[in-house]
């Protein structure tokens, strides 16, 4: 794929700090449970501009042992999370020097959005800052991405030419369904590797979604047709993620196509997005699991697979005919002792 624009999440990608509430609870000797009613309640309205955080905080601050003003509390909060990843900043500047526009997308209320823009310098760094407080909805809402694309896509940029990096898979999946190329951010080294491979286009990046289908303590593996890539090996139900398709919906589709039954998206648990840097490809493997309540009939296509088995983790790991990377995946997920 070609990339023309990149959208970055703020917290967890460009900003690297623990949540201020963790630091606050330690310093002021209160339980995290004391802060949950606010953050699980009216804070959601603040983030989308339906409420003013300065007003909504007032009844909570005495319970949190804060004796200063609301403004002083917000300054404490914002400064506690003022930890920019300098390597990321330098990479963004490098990308901009290559005529790649960089944007920021954040779920934040209006005062912290302004702090990001002015005090942290993001208003000058990024071509535009897209905040839930301004747009009126969060990143898990497709309306957010429609509004973003009105700006980003205005210069003839196609949706799939826009990369989006976030450390929250739920946000990634909504952006993918909108049509963006969404990537889960885990660390700077992997991010830089994928960015550089994409721009230089010197190795194919393959995104394949896979699923552990579990029942009664075992999971399903499929024997690949000998004429398929990596034929005669055993692997999970898996397949490439199409443009405009989220990782999760790709898994739903692949399960139906490969083994003949439907899994509701809400029954899929995200286990992680794992990567392998092979000589021929760079593989990204978003991996899920679903646990069946009752047995299902497995109906596989004879042009795709030859057989299937229900196996324990140990039985699977003991096989020498697994598809490339499967042994390591079991270790990464700690299904098998990592010292094995």
Residue 333: HSE in the Cβ half-sphere, 13 Å Cα cutoff: 22
The CB-side HSE value for 302 (13 A sphere, CA atoms) comes to: 0
- Which CATH number describes the domain made up of 5-16+82-200? 3.40.50.1000
End-to-end CA distance of the chain: 38
Token representation of residue 33: 């449970």
- Looking up tokens 């596989």 gives 300
Q: How much of the chain is in helix, strand and coil states, percent to nearest 5?
A: 40, 25, 35
Quote the CA–CA distance of 104 and 57 in Å, as a whole number: 26
pTM above 0.85, yes or no: yes
pLDDT score of 339? 47
The DSSP string of 102-160 is EEEEE---HHHHHHHHHTS-HHHHSS-EEEHHHHSS-TTSHHHHHHHHHHHGGGS--GG
Q: In this structure, what token pair is assigned to residue 49?
A: 């501009």
Q: What is the CA radius of gyration of the chain?
A: 23
Lookup: tokens for 34: 């004391």
Say if CB 168 and CB 186 are below 8 A apart.
Answer: no
Q: Tell me whether strands 5-9 and 204-215 are parallel, antiparallel or unpaired.
A: unpaired
**What is the reported pLDDT for 336?**
75
Q: What are the residue ranges spanned by the domains of the chain?
A: 5-16+82-200, 20-80, 204-332
Under DSSP, is residue 303 helix (H, G, I), strand (E, B) or coil?
coil
Give the three-class secondary structure for 161.
Answer: helix
DSSP class of residue 11? B
pLDDT of residue 2: 83
Which pLDDT belongs to residue 340?
Answer: 43
Cα 101 off chain centre by = 21
- CATH number for the domain formed by residue range(s) 204-332: 3.90.79.10
**Please, are residues 212 and 287 in contact by the beta-carbon 8 Å criterion?**
yes
Give the per-residue pLDDT at 337: 65
Q: What is the pLDDT of residue 338?
A: 52
Chain centre to alpha carbon of residue 257: 25
Q: What's the CA angle centered on 313, arms 289 and 288, to 5 degrees?
A: 15
Mean pLDDT by 10 residues, the chain (340 residues): 92 92 93 95 98 98 97 96 97 97 98 98 98 98 96 88 97 97 96 94 92 97 94 96 95 96 96 96 97 94 94 97 97 74
């Amino acid at each position: 794929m070609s990339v023309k624009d990149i959208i970055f999440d703020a917290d967890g990608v460009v900003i690297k700090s623990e949540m201020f509430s963790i630091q606050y609870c330690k310093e002021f000797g209160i339980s995290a449970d004391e802060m949950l009613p606010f953050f699980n309640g009216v804070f959601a309205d603040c983030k989308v501009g339906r409420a003013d955080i300065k007003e909504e905080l007032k009844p909570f601050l005495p319970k949190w042992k804060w004796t200063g003003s609301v403004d002083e509390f917000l300054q404490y909060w914002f400064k506690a999370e003022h930890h920019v990843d300098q390597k990321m900043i330098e990479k963004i500047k490098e990308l901009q020097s290559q005529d790649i526009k960089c944007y920021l997308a954040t779920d934040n209320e209006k005062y912290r959005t302004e702090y990001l823009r002015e005090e942290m310098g993001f208003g000058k760094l990024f071509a535009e800052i897209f905040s839930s407080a301004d747009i009126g909805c969060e990143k898990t809402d497709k309306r957010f991405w429609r509004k973003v694309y009105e700006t980003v896509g205005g210069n003839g940029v196609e949706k799939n030419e826009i990369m989006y990096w976030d450390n929250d898979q739920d946000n990634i999946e909504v952006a993918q369904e909108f049509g963006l190329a969404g990537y889960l951010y885990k660390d700077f080294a992997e991010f830089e590797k994928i960015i550089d491979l994409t721009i230089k286009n010197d190795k194919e990046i393959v995104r394949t979604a896979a699923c552990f289908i579990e029942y009664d303590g075992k999971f399903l593996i499929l024997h690949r047709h000998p004429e398929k890539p990596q034929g005669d090996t055993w692997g999970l139900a898996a397949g490439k993620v199409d443009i405009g398709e989220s990782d999760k919906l790709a898994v739903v589709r692949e399960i139906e196509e490969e083994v003949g039954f439907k899994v509701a998206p809400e029954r899929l648990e995200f286990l992680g997005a794992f990567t392998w840097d092979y000589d021929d490809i760079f593989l990204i493997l978003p991996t899920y699991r679903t646990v069946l309540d009752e047995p299902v009939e497995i109906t596989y296509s004879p042009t795709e697979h030859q057989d299937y088995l229900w196996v324990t983790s140990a039985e699977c790991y003991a096989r020498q005919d697994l598809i490339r990377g499967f042994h390591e995946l079991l270790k990464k997920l700690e299904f098998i002792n990592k010292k094995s």
